[in-house]
Amino acid sequence: MLQVEVRRPNRGDIKAMEHFFRFVITDTFAKEGLADLLEDIEQEIDSKNRYLNADFETNGEQRYFLIGLLDSSIVSCIEYGPSNALIREATDGRLRDVVEIGTVFVHPDCQQQGIGNLMLNIMYLTLLNKGLTEFCLDSGYSRAQKIWKKKLGEPDYVLQDHWGSGVDHMIWKRRLADVPVIFSL
């Protein structure tokens, strides 16, 4: 069983987090067949760095990250914050006041080992401890959509062909009380 330490990031983690974002996002785009979309990759990396900075600048009030470490190396992260513009627009503002779970990344060498489940379960508990009762989540990556469908069921909103012909964007809204918690690692 993997011994993953989960904690809040600190300013000393910034460079490692930036490297982690770049590595995972570049790998994800490549596996999605999108490695040539260099500008989109850079925009995605920049948005994650901005989210991380918002966490530090507001002491977790604007964005709230958790990181997972294995042998002192970052192998996963997850965050929550306000729903993104795409979610708000696609739902005509219905999810405007629902927090979004995002930046759910697991290092490619550590995937399929339960680390994502661990991070998700800890985030569910974090939201509950903060008095929140629901969340939303979105995904445009086809590989991730399969995982989210398995964990959360069918999406509540599907933006057909949003990223091109046959490439949909999906949005889920769930009550925490209805989400199965998986404690296996």
Domain assignment present for residue 179? The answer is: no
* CATH assignment of the domain containing 72: 3.40.630.30
Domain assignment present for residue 69? The answer is: yes
- Rounded to 5 degrees, φ, ψ at 88 are -60, -45
| Domains: count for the chain | 1
Domain assignment present for residue 162? The answer is: no
Domain assignment present for residue 32? The answer is: yes
Domain assignment present for residue 82? The answer is: yes
Asked whether residue 106 carries a pLDDT value surpassing 80, the answer given is: yes
* Measured CA angle at 116 (ends 22, 105), to 5 deg: 15
Average pLDDT over residues 108-113: 93
pLDDT band at 184 (very low <50, low <70, confident <90, very high): very low
Q: Computed from CA positions of residues 114, 107, 125, 144, in that sequence, does the dihedral angle turn out positive or negative?
A: negative
Distance CA 103, CA 121 (A): 15
Q: Which domain holds residue 73?
A: 5-137
- How does pLDDT run across 118-161, given as a tens digit for each residue? 999 999 999 999 999 999 999 987 888 999 999 999 999 998 87
Q: How much is the pLDDT for 21?
A: 97
